Homo-oligomer: A and B are copies of this chain.
Amino acid sequence: MKRIHNKEDIIQVGLDLVLSRGFNATGVEAILKQANVPKGSFYNFFSSKEEFGLAIIDKFVAGRAEVLSPIFSDESIPPLERVKKSFDTMIAIFGSDDCSKGCLIGNLGQEMADQFENVRQRLNQALQSWTKELSKLLLQAQKENTIPADTNVDMLAENLISSFQGALLLSKIKKSPEPLRNFIHLYFDIFLAQRTEN
């Protein structure tokens, strides 16, 4: 039981540190120190730092699902509104961190996709499931004529995630939530809203 407890601690502490500092800049020693785990025990739990990277991705994805699943399945809200609310919710979390940290998927994608093929594949899987979730809601919105019949909902779902990731990045560089607020405004009040008027 102790080992399992320790492993969970390392993953949680590691996730926070990697979100703040990046993967390469986060040393194994710093993680163990912060997690209060004896030096040298890291490799009892993970065969490599890459394996640790995969574990924190899984942790992050599970945490995000906990926050977003109730929104995605809330049938009291129209489907396109649920998509908007899911982004609003993530933006509120990001803003509370002074626009630092960001989304682990984007952060690690930028830093590691070219270096660690297993990490890239795990991130890609996470993006694919996220895209599918949005895509289902957009298809429902399409059936209800909230978005036009000729919209490719899979393409739009991925593009929403893509533009959200870009807005997170610009908010980090500007140290301001403005690019995120503008992403919400342009997509949901103009680009998509307008299309429904046709």
Which residues of A does B touch, CB under 8 Å? 20-22, 24-25, 100-102, 105-107, 109-111, 113-115, 120, 123-124, 127, 155-156, 158-159, 161-167, 169-170, 172-175, 179, 182-183, 185-186, 190-191, 194-195, 198
Nearest CB of chain B from residue A148's CB, rounded to whole Å: 9
- Copies of this subunit: 2
Q: A110 contacts which chain B residues (CB < 8 A)?
A: 22, 102, 106-107, 110-111, 169, 172
Q: A194 contacts which chain B residues (CB < 8 A)?
A: 194-195, 198
Q: A172 contacts which chain B residues (CB < 8 A)?
A: 109-110, 113-114
When chains A and B are docked, how far (Å) is the Cα of A169 from the Cα of B161?
11
Contact of A158 among B101, B105, B115, B182 (CB under 8 A): B182
Do B186 and A156 touch (CB < 8 A)? yes
Main secondary structure of the interface of A (DSSP, over half): helix
When chains A and B are docked, how far (Å) is the Cα of A8 from the Cα of B160?
40
19 contacts between A and B (CB under 8 A): A20-B114, A22-B110, A22-B111, A22-B115, A102-B110, A109-B169, A109-B170, A120-B175, A123-B173, A124-B173, A127-B173, A158-B179, A162-B163, A162-B169, A162-B170, A162-B182, A165-B165, A166-B167, A194-B194
Contact of A179 among B21, B22, B162, B169 (CB under 8 A): B162
Q: A195 contacts which chain B residues (CB < 8 A)?
A: 190, 194
Contact of A24 among B25, B107, B156, B173 (CB under 8 A): B25
When chains A and B are docked, how far (Å) is the Cα of A186 from the Cα of B186?
13
Do B165 and A170 touch (CB < 8 A)? yes
Which residue of chain B has its CB nearest to the CB of A25? B24
When chains A and B are docked, how far (Å) is the Cα of A22 from the Cα of B193?
39
